Structure formats: C-alpha cells, structure tokens
Structure 1
Amino acid sequence: MLDRLQGAKKFTKLDCKDAYNQVRIKGGDEWKTVFRTRFGLFEYLAMPFGLTNTPATFQAFIDKALGEFLDITCVVYLDDILIFSKNESDHEEHVRQVLAALQRYNLHLKISKCSFNTTEVNFFGFRINTEGIFMDPERIRFANFFQRFIKNYLPIAAPLLNLLKTGKNKKEIGVKVRQTNVVPPPFSLSKTALEAFKALKEAFTSAPLLRYFDKNKPMRVETDASAFAIGGILTQQFKIDGHLHWLPVAYYSKKLLATETQYGMGEQELLAIMEAMHHWRHYC
C-alpha cells in the first residue's frame, strides 16, 4: 500500500470521527445487536465497535466512497485516509475531491487528528516523508511491527523470542495449556539474551530510512542463512549528490523450522533465496 507514495511531495492525513458509528445498520437487522440493561432492552441503530465483521464492513464502505481515488491519489486503512500528490497545486485539488466524496457519503472527520498539506506525516504506524518510510519513535516498543526496518531481525532476536516458548514452563507448574489466567514464571535472562536485547536496541535506534519501491529503477535482492534463520534485503539504486547508491527498500527474515535446521548450508542458502523471492514476488 505504501509503495503507492513513490514520488509524492505533499501529504494530507484524514481521520474519520467515531468511524464505525457512522455506518447505519441495515434496516431490520438492528435486533441482532440487542443488549439487556436494568432499564430494559436496547439495540444499536449505527454499527457499534466490537462486532466481528465491523472492520471489514467499514473498510468496504469507505472503499466504495473513495473508490475512484484509491491508489491513485489516496490510500485508506479503516478510518485513516492518506492523500498524496506530486505538487501543491495537484494536492489542493486531490484534497477537495476526497472531501467531496466523504461529504456525499455523510462521513465526518475528527479535525484534531487531521494533518493538511505537509511533507511528513504519521500513517499506519509509520513516519512517512518525501524520501521514504521510517519508524515512528512512539511505536518503537512494538518490535515485531518494525521487522522490515531491521537487517537480520530474527537472527538477532532469536534468544529473546525463545523466552516466549511457555509450553515447558506451564508443564513444570502443572497447568493446562489452554488456561490463560495463570501467570508464567519470570524470564531467566541469560547472557546471550541480554546481548540480543542490546543488539536489537542498537538496531532499532540506528534503523535506516526505507525508500519507496520504484518499478522504473533496477532492484537487487541479497540473502543470507544462519543455523536457525534466513534473511534478505531488497535494495534499489537512487541518485544522491550526483552519485548512484544501492539503498534499502525492505528487509525480510524468517526463522527456520525444525526440519529446515537440518538442511545443509547450500540448501539453506537456496531456501533463503526462494523465500525472499516469494516474499517480494509482487515487485517482480
């Protein structure tokens, strides 16, 4: 989705106010939302938060409202709308078109969460500007979410991820696996785990800007394999100060299955190539 932003210089982010509540429940289906209180029975007239199909229903609704502009002048994820343009004059017209479409569908915005005509904006958990995508500092704590920014993420994080394997601990304390109200024993941090934490922290604080994929530029995929994980990097050539440089567009890593760890080194290297090409197949 964010690859559509390649070449954009101006951004506007819109946020729909109380998004799901703006969609009217189909007439005759209101009874399906009935709930009981001490004051009697009540039912929703507008779509409430918490229903299983609420996100999909709202996404379909807003996709219909903005269908003629999707992936051309705007991208949408649920109640967040990002309008992008290559220059300011086009951007003003694009914003007017999107706002008019929202008005036709009676969709309201929360102005305090909107950003207009800017060169840098937060969207979909990322920080976006005219050059590319980088991590939002406020979301650094969500490590798995930012795997694409970290080279060899899984090989680095493996000692920490192994701490999440609670099956053995639960067996030791005599509880059933399906129970969720039992507090597992505290982690026992080994020297290896502490070193992994420090390495991961360093990787996040020095994570590079990821460039937007450009189908008109040459691309290169490099892969690597270790005893327990494989990884890859997708780069493209960009001109900086008159010189061409191979810069990262995305990183990828995957933990090997138990059977895959038994492969020979050559087989693991070939597996890394295959998995990387499959992961980025939409760019081919």
Structure 2
Amino acid sequence: MTKEQKANLIHCLQQNCDVFAWAPEDMPGIDPNFMNHRLSMAKDARQVMQKKRKQGEEKRKAIQEETNKLLKAGFIREVRYPEWLANVVMVRKANGKWRMCTDYTDLNKVCPKDPYPLPNIDRLVDNVAGFEFLSFMDTYSGYNQIKMHPDDEEKTAFITNGGAFCYKVMPFGLKNVEATYQRLMDKIFEDVIGRDIEVYVDDMVAKSKGGEGHCEALGRVFEVLRRHQLRLNPEKCSFRVQAGRFMGFMLTERGIEANLDKCGAVITSEVATSVLNTLKKERNFAWTLECEEAFLRLKAMLATPPILVRPELGQPLYLYISVTEAAISSVLIQEKEREQYLVYFISKTLQGPEKRYQKFEREALALVVASRWLRLYFQSFSIIVRTDLPVQQVLRKPDLAGRMVAWSVQLFEFDISFERRCQIKAQALADFITELTPEHKQLEGDWYLSVDGSSNQTRSGAGVILEGPDAILIE
C-alpha cells in the first residue's frame, strides 16, 4: 500500500467513524418497523416455566453485573407474571470472565425452523476470490441491534435473583436468529451485494479490483450502514487487505488458496503403533518401507480434493463422532442415493483435564468442537448426529452443571437431531482419524523469565529472555 493509498483509506474511515460502535450505548439499532424478530410457534404449544436453578456466589454476582449492563443499555426490561420463563446459564470465557446466556431449550422446541435460505457458500466464495483488495467487517453485537417484536418480548423472559426480565432485542440462543439476521442483510444491502460486498449472516467482506475503487466501495457500504443505523465493531474489522479467511476459505487475489485446516486431521496423522501383531507368539512385527508407502498413499487419497464434496442445500448432513482417551474426531458427510460423500473431517488432541472426561463427556465435547469449527455448515443445514452413546439425553437434562451446561447452551441455536448409528463407513474414517491423531507431549521442567527493566539494547521497550527445559531459549 502506497502512502497516498494509506492516506485515502484513513480519510475514508475518519469520514465514516459514526458507523462504528465502541459500547452498547453507541448502537441505536435497526428501526423495528423495518425489521424485527418474531417467534412463530404452534398455537397448541405448552408454555414452560423452568424451575430456578441454584447459582454459586461468583455466578450470582456476575449475573447481577450483566443484568445491570443490559438494563442500562436498554436491551432488557423487567417483566411480571411471564408465561414463559427460562434460566440463566453462565459460561466462562477464555479471558476468565463470565458470559451470560439463556436456556431457551423449551422455547426453541415449539418454534419451527425458519425456511429463509442462507446464501450459497460456494457462490459467495467464488464471488470474493480474485479481487485485489478486501475488507472484512463484523457488526457490534449484531443480533442485539435487531429489536424483538413487542408481542414476543415476554416470551424471552428469564429469571435471576433480582427478578424476571425479558429481552427487548434479539438475544443469542434463540432459534432462527440467523435467518432473521440474513433477511435483514439481504434487504439493506440489496443494491450493493455482488458488486461491492458479500454477506453471510454476520460475515461481511467488501471487495474491489483497484485501490482507489476500494474506498469508493467502502463508502457505499458505510452509507447503507448509516441509513439503517447498523454499527460495526472496530476491533473485529480489517480494511484493505489482500488476503483473508472468509467462510473457512483462504481468499487472495489469485483466487481460493489451499486450506490445510480442512484436510489437516488426515495430513498430520502419524503412523499407528500396532499392538495385536506384537502380542502374537513368535511373531516379529516391523514397519516396512511398503507399509510406509501404503500409509502415505492412504492419507493422500483421503485428502484428495475431489473426495471432499460440496453439500447440497436442503439435504441434511450426518455427523459421525469417534473418541479415545487421547483424542476426538468428527466426520461430516452427506448421503445421496445411499452413497456417503465426505464434506469435512476434523480432529483434536485432548489436553490436560480433558483426558479425564468420561466417554459421554468426550463425545459431547466432540460435538461442540465440530459445531465451532464447522459453524457455517451447522447454520445452513440440519445436522443429524449418528451415535450409540446417550449424548442427547445428557445434554438435555435440566440439572446440568459445569461444562455440560456451557456446551448445551452453545448448541441451542442449531438444528441438531440424533439417531442410532447403523452404517459404519463414515464411522470407520472417524475412528481412523482419532487413532492417528498425534498426542502433544508437554515439556516437563521449570521455565525462567528474565527482564532487564524498562529498556533494552535499542533503548526502548523491555528486554525479555524466556528459558525452558531442553535448552529452549526465547529472546
């Protein structure tokens, strides 16, 4: 980027700083007459008032603080005599703080799936690939910028020690919120989608062939955001870059780059250690050159692009899960005329306390990990989990505690069902990936951190040396 191009971009962003939000108070929200969220449910739906669950002192304080923030922002209001009532679920975030969610399991059960179509992933990726400059944007608490319909506000009621409250804005965890959000984005960006921007729910990317044209494209996008009072999160935006990840694909000016993450579970698998052969009497097992070549050919075949198909919208995806004491894996497939076609496969090495999970907990973890890594597929398709373990019953127990509660909350929004496993083709692949997932070995020993005060050889900053076991030195 030249100095002139950088100056033009900075000027463009400064001229449109009003479309960014730094706090909830900076979000006026979408005009409810233009778009709001409705809860469509069966007329004979039985109302459910969940029994209040006990919370520890730390969680109670966090709930009170978050409730006060939501009240101050105007996102919730107090409600009396609600007909629907849900419990608050506290989920620990990576930074150690708490995220407050609501258990809308009962409410979601009586709400049919909104058939509004999400964009075709392949078309979006193709429409973005090959452009010289890209800008990736994310809205500030996007769902909360859409109001709930007044008639449905009290159906979102939740209970705390401080009373019962309901949402005035669209909360996370409700069924069909993705469809409502996509409907909004399609409507407001109708004139610029395909030309200046591509949108998939809350993923937005502006595009242009030339440097000067990119600021003009951003200007048109910002004008739409301003007109409809939709605000961006500056911390989650990247402007005028030449490469980035969109919809799980690495996009550059050259087109779609290879995404090693997609085949990484197979490509990084290590040679398995045979146990049965070594136990046979007077039988010496050796990993020969022929074995190594066959193993490498198998990995190459499994990771060959034509084998990984593009799923057809409107047809469900099936998830097979495999767990061991050291790793978990998932295989996502689609069935066509009784044939199974691979869509994606992933694996994860269990770390620390995860290795002490019970088997049903490891399988629940595998489902949650799959929903995170394959979120776009979980949003666009109905997911059928084929398993012989009681994961469904465990996740839907009303007295869940700890991590199982957090996992259950994360799965609320998706259309997930379960059925008993019959076919073993995809399950065999899931088992194969799990068994060959390398176990990360943790280095034992002390680490020493040395700091030279407030300056270093370059006369600014701080000099830091980190010494670890096995002569590891990070300076």
Corresponding residue to 1:24 among 147, 153, 156: 147
Instruction: Tell me what 2:390 maps to.
Output: 179
Task: Measure, in 2, the Cα distance between the counterparts of 1:40 and 1:152.
Answer: 56
Instruction: Tell me what 1:42 maps to.
Output: 165
Q: Contact 1:30–1:44 (CA<8 Å) still a contact in 2? A: yes
Task: Measure, in 1, the Cα distance between the counterparts of 2:242 and 2:221.
Answer: 19
Task: Measure, in 2, the Cα distance between the counterparts of 1:77 and 1:101.
Answer: 16
Q: Contact 1:8–1:86 (CA<8 Å) still a contact in 2? A: yes
Instruction: Tell me what 1:114 maps to.
Output: 237
Displacement of 1:177 in angstroms is: 4.0
Displacement of 1:197 in angstroms is: 5.5
Displacement of 1:88 in angstroms is: 1.3
Task: Measure, in 2, the Cα distance between the counterparts of 1:15 and 1:162.
Answer: 32
Letter in 2 for 1:52: K
Q: TM-score, normalised by structure 1?
A: 0.52
Q: Contact 1:21–1:46 (CA<8 Å) still a contact in 2? A: yes
Moved more, 133-142 or 115-124: 133-142
Aligned-partner SS, 2:305? coil
1:85 aligned to 2:208? Answer: yes
Task: Measure, in 2, the Cα distance between the counterparts of 1:106 and 1:59.
Answer: 16
Q: Contact 1:9–1:86 (CA<8 Å) still a contact in 2? A: yes
Task: Measure, in 2, the Cα distance between the counterparts of 1:139 and 1:112.
Answer: 27
Displacement of 1:130 in angstroms is: 0.2
Aligned-partner SS, 1:122? strand
Displacement of 1:162 in angstroms is: 9.7
Displacement of 1:38 in angstroms is: 2.4
Aligned-partner SS, 2:167? coil
Q: Encode CA deviations 1:72-123: one digit per residue, 9 max, x unaligned.
A: 2210011111111111121111101101111111111111211111111221
Alignment of 1:45-64 (within 5 A): 45-64=168-187
C-alpha distance 193-38 of structure 1, shift in aligned 2 (>3 A) = closer
Displacement of 1:193 in angstroms is: 4.1
C-alpha distance 35-81 of structure 1, shift in aligned 2 (>3 A) = same
C-alpha distance 128-7 of structure 1, shift in aligned 2 (>3 A) = closer
Q: Percent identity?
A: 29
Instruction: Tell me what 1:71 maps to.
Output: 194
Displacement of 1:150 in angstroms is: 3.6
Task: Measure, in 2, the Cα distance between the counterparts of 1:139 and 1:35.
Answer: 39
C-alpha distance 139-45 of structure 1, shift in aligned 2 (>3 A) = farther
Instruction: Tell me what 1:202 maps to.
Output: none
Q: Encode CA deviations 1:18-61: one digit per residue, 9 max, x unaligned.
A: 11111111223211211122222100011000101111001111
Task: Measure, in 2, the Cα distance between the counterparts of 1:122 and 1:51.
Answer: 27
Instruction: Tell me what 1:224 maps to.
Output: none
Letter in 2 for 1:89: E
Q: Contact 2:136–2:237 (CA<8 Å) still a contact in 1? A: yes
Task: Measure, in 1, the Cα distance between the counterparts of 2:173 and 2:210.
Answer: 40
Q: Encode CA deviations 1:136-158: one digit per residue, 9 max, x unaligned.
A: 56676577xxxxx843546xxxx
Instruction: Tell me what 1:126 maps to.
Output: 249
Displacement of 1:5 in angstroms is: 2.5
Aligned-partner SS, 1:68? coil
Q: Contact 1:115–1:121 (CA<8 Å) still a contact in 2? A: no
Corresponding residue to 1:151 among 283, 299, 305: 305
Q: Which has the larger radius of gyration?
A: 2
Aligned-partner SS, 2:149? coil
Q: Contact 2:125–2:249 (CA<8 Å) still a contact in 1? A: no
Q: Contact 1:70–1:76 (CA<8 Å) still a contact in 2? A: yes
Moved more, 120-129 or 54-63: 120-129
For this pair of structures, how many residues does the alignment match? 173
Aligned-partner SS, 1:43? strand
Alignment of 1:1-284 (within 5 A): 1-135=124-258, 150-153=304-307, 177=388, 179-180=390-391, 181=394, 193=432
Letter in 1 for 2:140: K
Q: Contact 1:34–1:43 (CA<8 Å) still a contact in 2? A: yes
Q: TM-score, normalised by structure 2?
A: 0.32
Q: Encode CA deviations 1:152-195: one digit per residue, 9 max, x unaligned.
A: 546xxxxxx79679xxxx9xxxxx9472159xxxxxx99x947x
Runs of 4+ in 1 over 3 A off after TM superposition: 135-143, 161-165
C-alpha distance 6-76 of structure 1, shift in aligned 2 (>3 A) = same
Task: Measure, in 2, the Cα distance between the counterparts of 1:126 and 1:32.
Answer: 38
Instruction: Tell me what 1:271 maps to.
Output: none
Larger RCO (CA under 8 A, 6+ residues apart) = 1
Task: Measure, in 2, the Cα distance between the counterparts of 1:179 and 1:162.
Answer: 13
